[in-house]
Structure 1
Amino acid sequence: MASLGRLVPRRRSATARSVLAGEASAQAARDTSLEAAEAAAVEEAEKAPEAEAFPVAGDEYAAAFFDLDNTVMQGAALFHFGRGLYKREFFRRRELARFAWQQAWFRIAGVEDPEHMQDARDSALSIVKGHRVAELMSIGEDIYDEYMAERIWPGTRALAQAHLDAGQRVWLVTAAPVETATIIARRLGLTGALGTVAESVGGVYTGKLVGEPLHGPAKAEAVRALAAAEGLDLSRCAAYSDSHNDIPMLSLVGHPYAINPDAKLRRYARERDWRLRDYRTGRKAVKVGIPAAAGVGALAGGTAAAIALHRRRH
């Protein structure tokens, strides 16, 4: 994804690293989204060369940003990706046990612990070093089918679809590798994904990151950079997350939502009258919906779909 001819200086302030990570992620997301759009246009033209193209009605200045782990998908994407690589003998049993411990911590704590997440990413970087980006992308497609597809929260997916149906763009925003996030976004029919950018030279991973993991403030920087490049009005955008670590991202937009929130985010959201939804239990949410900019019809359809899918799941 991010092919750099030079190494990124190691000593940078935390803010500078967040900005660098966010800008790199936004650029990678836009590049991937453009490639996908061009490919889709070519495919559509080949299928129906005489068909007329009609513009999609919607708010061109609004978009929705969804955190991935425990918001859109149960568990951590990086762990599931690690399981798939282990199955393909990319690393040894001892390293799988390490991934398993990190996933167990994530599921028990229900929050993103920076130290454990950093440990998981360091493990992943050492594993993919020297491998080609194209190879990992191809494997990632199979891993999604094997481990991730069945772990998508139906309710959150329905909310994302409601934004799409309203003519809005929808992006995943995650600390997972941008390649993995892009695969998930494409499989869910979303616009694209912002994720952690691993440095590559000549299409081969170097084992280093561009900036830092897309976590906490870096996510906000990525959303801000993408919004500026895409001409979005953040006051008309929505963001969804389960973690208090994403408060910087949620605070950027005019319509923040807490999905499957940890205790800190739940408290923070209630204090500010943010909408909440919890798909982990049968508890009713304080509020649920999508921004008024998306339209009343989409709101009703999205909420109904979320309830129906949630009941079917449980």
Structure 2
Amino acid sequence: MSLAIFDLDNTLIANDSDYLWGQFLVDHGIVDQAYYETANKKFYADYKHGTLDIVEFLRFSLAPLALHDPAQLYRWRDEFVDTIIKPILLPEAQALVERHRAQGDTLLVITATNRFVTEPIVKLYGIDNLLATTPEFSKGRYTGKYIDVPCFQEGKVVHLRNWLDSSTETLQDSWFYSDSHNDLPLLKLVDHPVAVDPDEILLQAAQSANWPVISLRN
């Protein structure tokens, strides 16, 4: 039995849930439309180029959570998952998850997208273990801040090591599936790194290191 780790956005699903959640807020008039859409696109471009300021982005992306009652936020999130996320679930990704499950492997998703957005998505794949940036929740409200280090780039390694310290799992014979060069620190840590529909930088790195390159898209 091994530890099978999966990135979420553009790996298990066919788009980026962080960007799509921002666009959902824009489309429903929940945020200032012109400002938020422009900023959301810029942050996503920065992410793809490997230049994202994660602290600045989290300040931007978590701010709307502090402006609304959690019950309303959860209703919007349910609608988001039903209308935006479910259509971009990938059957081949589900099949890959199920192959690891059938082998008795421990399943873990580790994602830069915050836990508020990703927790219900990960549950759609039947995966119980999730490492993600965690929005701060205090006195019955989201604060717009986050706790611990952001789960991004080297931060994913920090989160994984902390999780391993509190579990019986190890990295022996471990797997990690990701599409993004932002995940190179973690890909280099596991025994079986796999590039999934990779961006150009990750594709070059995978080919240079002779890592498997696969597609989960139809």
Give the TM-score, by structure 2 length: 0.86
Decide whether the 8 Å contact of 1:65 with 1:170 is kept in 2.
Answer: yes
The residue type equivalent to 2:155 in the other structure is A
Q: CA deviation at 1:265?
A: 1.5
Which residue of structure 1 aligns with residue 206 of structure 2? 269
Which residue of structure 2 aligns with residue 162 of structure 1? 99
Decide whether the 8 Å contact of 1:102 with 1:116 is kept in 2.
Answer: no
Q: Does 1:252 align with 2:192?
A: no
RMSD value over aligned CA atoms?
2.5
- CA–CA separation in structure 1 for the residues paired with 2:63 and 2:5: 29
CA, structure 1 residues 112+188, in 2 after alignment: closer, same or farther (shift >3 Å)? farther
- CA–CA separation in structure 2 for the residues paired with 1:207 and 1:228: 28
The partner residue of 1:75 within 7, 10, 15 is 15
Bigger radius of gyration among the two: 1
- CA–CA separation in structure 2 for the residues paired with 1:166 and 1:133: 38
- CA–CA separation in structure 2 for the residues paired with 1:152 and 1:137: 20
CA, structure 1 residues 105+71, in 2 after alignment: closer, same or farther (shift >3 Å)? same
CA, structure 1 residues 224+137, in 2 after alignment: closer, same or farther (shift >3 Å)? farther
Q: Does 1:63 align with 2:7?
A: no
- CA–CA separation in structure 2 for the residues paired with 1:81 and 1:213: 18
The partner residue of 1:221 within 141, 158, 172 is 158
Q: Does 1:182 align with 2:122?
A: no
The count of residues paired between Structure 1 and Structure 2 equals 218
Within a 5 Å distance, the mapping from 1:188-207 to structure 2 comes to 188-207=125-144
- CA–CA separation in structure 2 for the residues paired with 1:112 and 1:144: 27
- CA–CA separation in structure 2 for the residues paired with 1:70 and 1:247: 15
- CA–CA separation in structure 1 for the residues paired with 2:30 and 2:6: 30
The residue type equivalent to 1:210 in the other structure is I
SS in 1 for 2:152: coil
SS in 2 for 1:207: strand
CA, structure 1 residues 134+216, in 2 after alignment: closer, same or farther (shift >3 Å)? farther
Q: Does 1:238 align with 2:175?
A: yes
Unaligned runs of 5+ residues in structure 2 are: none
Decide whether the 8 Å contact of 1:172 with 1:181 is kept in 2.
Answer: no
Q: State the percentage of identical aligned residues.
A: 25
The residue type equivalent to 1:76 in the other structure is D
- CA–CA separation in structure 2 for the residues paired with 1:160 and 1:112: 28
The residue type equivalent to 1:70 in the other structure is N
- CA–CA separation in structure 1 for the residues paired with 2:44 and 2:193: 28
SS in 2 for 1:234: coil
Decide whether the 8 Å contact of 2:26 with 2:37 is kept in 1.
Answer: no
Decide whether the 8 Å contact of 1:200 with 1:206 is kept in 2.
Answer: yes
Decide whether the 8 Å contact of 2:116 with 2:135 is kept in 1.
Answer: no
- CA–CA separation in structure 1 for the residues paired with 2:8 and 2:128: 14
Q: CA deviation at 1:178?
A: 1.0
Give the TM-score, by structure 1 length: 0.62
